[in-house]
Amino acid sequence: MSISLYAQTYQTWQNDPEAFWEEAAQELHWYKPWDKVLDTSNAPFYRWFTGATTNTCYNCVDKHVEEGRGEQAAIIYDSPVTNTVQTYTYAQLQHEVALFAGVLTAQGTKKGDRVVIYMPMIPQTAIAMLACARIGAIHSVVFGGFAAEELAKRIDDAEPTLILSASHGIEPNRNVAYKPLLDKAVQLAKHKPDACVIYRRKGLEIDLIEGQDIDWQTALSTAEPQDCVPVAATDPLYILYTSGTTGQPKGVVRDNGGHMVALKWSMKNVYDAKPGDVYWAASDVGWVVGHSYIVYAPLLNGNTTILYEGKPVGTPDAGAFWRVIEQHKVQTLFTAPTAFRVIKKEDSEGKLLKGYDISSLKALFLAGERADPDTLHWAENLLKVPVIDHWWQTETSWPQVANCMGMGLLDIKAGSPSKAVPGFDVQVLAEDGNPVAAGETGALVIKLPLPPGCLTTLWKNDQRFIESYLSEFPGFYATGDAGYIDADGYVYVMSRLDDVMNVAGHRLSTGGMEEVIASHPAVAECAVIGKKCAIKGHQPVGLAVLKTGVDIDDDELQAQIVALIREKIGPVASFKTLKVVQRLPKTRSGKILRATLRKIADGEDFAIPPTIDDPAIIDEIRQVFS
Ligand code: COA
Ligand code: AMP
């Protein structure tokens, strides 16, 4: 039997990981080569390509112009919510990015300074990210669906000298005014930026605050274009905050060198994307999918990337994706399964597809949450292209398990994102740290060192990095997911081990929502669980025990708490349900049995935990969910 290209490549990596990544690094431009491919001197803080200098923006933009791709489309901004399609060639992108880098430097931003970006899905957001990379500033993009308090937490942690924002974002049913949210966040934050540069979009008039705000266009009109600044391969490119188990988000730090090498390698080998192909990740730049596969990876690979400001349905209908594929001749589509579940709900027979020619499409990649077999098969039948589930996280920045299309597709097993990608030694460990047998469920872990591209630490918090990821299973990175690996090496990702849930492909902290609910004066204690949802994967449900003597109508309390979560965390939390209960199921030591609550909410069978302090409570909770 001949060995597959995937198996060969995996073996080549295993035999000599450093040689493997050194070869991959040849595809990129370095001002100075590395002294070491993998630096283990400060393990477990492994570093890739130490001693090298490079510039991510140069590799994403200028290099392609110099190599003759100047006239090719780099970014196509497709915005059904504003009725706009606008193309930036690589040459135009170079001009815009260099000029905006001039806005940053005119404000005194320099290498190593942080720049928070709180912006909608418009080209200026990608331009701003690249401009930061160009001058070695560290960007931290905050998703627009987060409220002022969440933004303030990120401002206090990242301590930016500058914040970039816009007048508003556009959701299908409303404008989301960013400026008041930004102003409130700046007011709430202890750290104050030197200035805020604001992009004014048509459709909402805003006032700028004297002494704080600078108009984006005015600043551009006097800006001097800036060249790329060499940075160390190990210097941070960005910080991206992701939900942990508490309300305090974790600032994932990404480097320049390893990140470029991994993403560039993934475009050819995982996605089978050739330079010049049109690649579309239908996500948001505020998430890691947007960082990696809307902005950096397609540009590093010389692709045309689509920046889509719209939804899978409602902008205007469930045929929106097919329209974009036809219009821009998209070859690769990447989105979250939830997007296909909403399309399926609105147009279960795929009638809207009939009006479009999607023959350019080669594959659909799904990630962000478990791809349920029903949705996967529905998409396969409709699109008649391989539908490829793959598993990764904000922390890794690129897929750790995938069916690597660029190395020839393996058999697809629905329900599994397939096998470990070269670079990742994925294993399943029991609670005691021992490996489990094939097919047995345990903690999904990755053997250290992590490959290039993965987080190097948490911003200003090495200790939390160790505690969150490296302490539980020494020598391994704990992904926080549970699952199993079958006898053929296929990985199955089944659930989270921590109190993080996945709502419409967005990772949210149940702990963060509990903190908000607990702050309501009527609430004595509470729990939030992710209940299964046919469309969004999970939906948050809160359970609250009221303080003795409090008299408030359940519906009124629910309305107040929904509003409170929207105000404190943001609409992205999708929090709609609060149930008042007499008490919560707990262990004798007082720990809330969240896993049991989840099973009751989902109507699943379960064994009553032997540690429960009062088994009678189970029936009470069952009643609440009946
Ligand atoms: N700025 C402000 N508000 C935002 C926002 C943004 N950038 N993005 C979403 N929101 C709001 C929505 O308007 C919604 O508000 P509402 O409760 O007032 O309606 C709320 O946040 C929840 O958003 P979402 O969970 O996305 O629900 P939705 O009903 O608007 O859309 C999907 C559902 C499935 C269509 C959408 O989530 C989607 O397309 N997901 C797939 C792609 C994706 O983004 N994946 C992420 C990682 S790959
Ligand atoms: P995020 O960091 O927001 O991208 O979320 C990462 C988490 O989403 C992972 O830890 C998983 O829990 C979940 N996830 C992502 N992709 C998949 C997948 N293909 N299958 C199952 N779960 C996934």
Does residue 480's CB lie within 6 angstroms of at least one atom of ligand 1?
no
Q: Is residue 321 helix, strand or coil? A: helix
pLDDT one-digit tens code per residue, 221-274: 999 999 999 999 999 999 999 988 778 899 999 999 999 999 999 999 999 999
Question: For 11-21, what is the mean pLDDT?
Answer: 98
**Backbone φ and ψ of 86, nearest 5°:** -140, 130
- Enumerate residues 6+ apart whose C-beta is below 8 A from 284: 121, 143, 144, 290
- Asked whether 75 and 88 are in contact (CB, 8 A), the reply is yes
pLDDT one-digit tens code per residue, 72-108: 999 999 999 999 999 999 999 999 999 999 999 999 9
Does residue 370's CB lie within 6 angstroms of at least one atom of ligand 2?
yes
CA of 246 to the centre of ligand 2 (A): 18
Does residue 302's CB lie within 6 angstroms of at least one atom of ligand 2?
no
CA of 569 to the centre of ligand 2 (A): 21
Tokens of 612: 């429960």
Q: Which atom of ligand 1 is nearest to the CA of 287?
A: 47
Pairing of β 84-89 and β 73-79: antiparallel
Does residue 311's CB lie within 6 angstroms of at least one atom of ligand 1?
yes
> Which residue, 608, 611, 386, is CA-closest to 622?
608
Which residue's alpha carbon is at the smallest distance from atom 44 of ligand 1?
A: 283
Q: Is residue 119 helix, strand or coil? A: coil
Ligand 2 pocket, mutate which of 338, 426, 481 (most atoms under 8 A from CB): 481
Does residue 417's CB lie within 6 angstroms of at least one atom of ligand 2?
yes
Exposed / middle / buried, residue 168 (Cβ in 10 Å: 0-12, 13-18, 19+): buried
- Asked whether 126 and 139 are in contact (CB, 8 A), the reply is no
- Enumerate residues 6+ apart whose C-beta is below 8 A from 74: 61, 64, 88, 89, 90, 92, 93, 299, 304, 305
Give residue 1's pLDDT: 52
Does residue 284's CB lie within 6 angstroms of at least one atom of ligand 1?
yes
Which residue's alpha carbon is at the smallest distance from atom 16 of ligand 1?
A: 571
CA of 493 to the centre of ligand 2 (A): 8
Q: Is residue 598 helix, strand or coil? A: helix
Question: Using 50, 70 and 90 to split pLDDT, how confident is the model at 610?
Answer: confident
Q: For 532-583, give the secondary structure using H, E and C.
A: EECCCEEEEEEEEEECCCCCCCHHHHHHHHHHHHHHHCCHHHCCCEEEEECC
Beta pairing partners, 138:
114
Tell me which DSSP letter residue 372 carries: -
Place of tokens 């701003």: 128
pLDDT one-digit tens code per residue, 522-544: 999 999 999 999 999 999 999 99
Tokens of 132: 């930061």
Does residue 493's CB lie within 6 angstroms of at least one atom of ligand 2?
yes
Does residue 393's CB lie within 6 angstroms of at least one atom of ligand 2?
yes
Computed over every residue of the chain, the mean pLDDT equals 96
Does residue 399's CB lie within 6 angstroms of at least one atom of ligand 1?
no
Cα separation of 55 and 255, whole Å?
A: 11
- Asked whether 183 and 173 are in contact (CB, 8 A), the reply is no
Angle among Cα 624, 595, 371 to the nearest 5 degrees reads 100
pLDDT one-digit tens code per residue, 159-196: 999 999 999 999 998 999 999 999 999 999 999 999 99
The rounded percent of the chain whose pLDDT value lies above 90 is 89
CA of 626 to the centre of ligand 2 (A): 30
> Which residue, 286, 17, 239, is CA-closest to 125?
286
Does residue 287's CB lie within 6 angstroms of at least one atom of ligand 1?
yes
Tokens of 482: 């549970």
Question: For 377-387, what is the mean pLDDT?
Answer: 97
Tokens of 532: 């299964």
Ligand 1 pocket, mutate which of 346, 572, 576 (most atoms under 8 A from CB): 572
pLDDT one-digit tens code per residue, 274-310: 999 999 999 999 999 999 999 999 999 999 999 999 9
Cis peptide upstream of residue 316 (ω within 30 degrees of 0): yes
Give residue 449's pLDDT: 98
User: Which domains are seen in the chain, by residue range?
Assistant: 5-310+390-470 (3.40.50.12780), 504-625 (3.30.300.30)
Cα separation of 169 and 269, whole Å?
A: 35
Question: For 460-467, what is the mean pLDDT?
Answer: 98
Does residue 167's CB lie within 6 angstroms of at least one atom of ligand 1?
no
pLDDT of residue 2 exceeding 80, the answer is no
pLDDT one-digit tens code per residue, 489-505: 999 998 888 888 899 98
Count of Cβ atoms closer than 10 Å to residue 4 Cβ: 15
Does residue 145's CB lie within 6 angstroms of at least one atom of ligand 1?
yes
Does residue 242's CB lie within 6 angstroms of at least one atom of ligand 2?
yes
CA of 507 to the centre of ligand 2 (A): 8
Question: For 26-31, what is the mean pLDDT?
Answer: 98
Give residue 110's pLDDT: 97
Q: Is residue 330 helix, strand or coil? A: coil
Exposed / middle / buried, residue 18 (Cβ in 10 Å: 0-12, 13-18, 19+): exposed
pLDDT one-digit tens code per residue, 388-430: 999 999 999 999 999 999 999 999 999 999 999 999 999 999 9
Tokens of 164: 């970039």
Pairing of β 387-389 and β 363-366: parallel
Give residue 376's pLDDT: 95
Type of residue numbered 524:
A
- Buried b vs exposed e over 38-47: b needs ≥16 C-beta within 10 Å? bbeeeebebb
Q: Which atom of ligand 1 is nearest to the CA of 286?
A: 7
Q: Quote the pTM value.
A: 0.95
Does residue 428's CB lie within 6 angstroms of at least one atom of ligand 1?
no
Cα separation of 183 and 192, whole Å?
A: 11
Pairing of β 138-141 and β 114-118: parallel
Give residue 495's pLDDT: 85
